[in-house]
Amino acid sequence: MSCYYAVTSALVSPFPSPSSTSLLSLNSGDDVEVKPNFNQNGYKWRLLLAYDGTRYAGWQYQESPPTVQCAVEKALIKATKLQRKDLQLVGASRTDAGVHAWGQVAHFITPFNYNNLDRIHAALNGLLPKDIRVREISPASSEFHARFSAKSKIYHYKIYSDTIMDPFQRHFAYHNMYKLNSDAMREAAKYFIGKHDFSAFENASHNDRVPDPVKHIFRFDVKEMGALLQLEVEGSGFLYRQVRNMVALLLQIGKEAIPPDIVPHILSSRDRKELAKYSFYLPPHGLCLVSINYNESHLLPPPGCPAKSFGMHHTIRKCKTIFY
């Protein structure tokens, strides 16, 4: 499949017919070639997104509350002149309300084929609110799927342990005023590693999907950075609120309220009510989706495509300062 690109609302003119090839002359003087689409599924693009989830009701599209997907779709609709059903935007992870992301991945489809990605990249960031950024945009093969091609996901949960909360961390870390035993937390985290049934760590979901409760946790690290404790977990996938529920239990273990070997007992129970006896609700703002790993073969661009866009860098070509 050939490479493909969208165009900003300021640059869009009516789409060429599927049987024709035409040129659009842009204000910059650059010609953008629009080729017919021979793939019935359209041309696929991959987005790497970062966002502050504080004011959003999660990633997933909803009719009324603001969600990240709604904001991204709104920008894409203006940039491409396509409708939501045509774009078919899919996110890799349905982050919950208040959860942040540095490495969310999504894909969408267009019928265009353009010569450069930098302009659509700049256009999307110009249309998006400032708490959502497109970090990269690249062509993707027809085999790539943001959700189903993923091999693993990495989440971080930050805990700020001090009597007084750092005001610059208040939106991105949970405030804990108790002294924590980080060694006990590390010991307990090891019990999560491997393939387990995590039914005891899943909250009831609002969608109709019946997820597989068996997940593979590849690593679970507890890192100390001064007053900040960062819990890093990588897994094949996660159930609804699984990461926050695991961290909440580790927090109780860090307070020495319960021993580390309580973890295998709760895992084997496969009962969310069993976890509730020892743990408590942990807010979402300390959680961040850091990165998603994919099969390398699914990341290969279609033949003949230019490089992905990391954003345009501006340089000063001539000094305009008046010297005396």
Active site residues: 96
What φ, ψ does residue 194 adopt, rounded to 5°?
115, -170
Determine the Cα–Cα distance for residues 199 and 214; give it in Å rounded to an integer: 8
Q: Which two tokens stand for residue 221?
A: 């690290």
What residues have CB less than 8 Å from 155, skipping those under 6 apart?
232, 233, 234, 238, 243, 287, 288, 289, 290
What residues have CB less than 8 Å from 168, skipping those under 6 apart?
none
Determine the Cα–Cα distance for residues 232 and 240; give it in Å rounded to an integer: 17
Determine the Cα–Cα distance for residues 101 and 243; give it in Å rounded to an integer: 14
What φ, ψ does residue 204 adopt, rounded to 5°?
-60, 130
Cβ(8)–Cβ(79) under 8 Å? yes
Distances (CA, A) of 127 to 38, 51, 52, 67, 101: 30, 14, 16, 15, 19
- Strand residue runs (E) in the chain: 22-25, 31-34, 43-51, 90-91, 100-110, 132-139, 150-161, 174-176, 194-197, 214-225, 228-235, 287-294
Q: Which two tokens stand for residue 211?
A: 């997820």
Q: Which two tokens stand for residue 142?
A: 């027809």
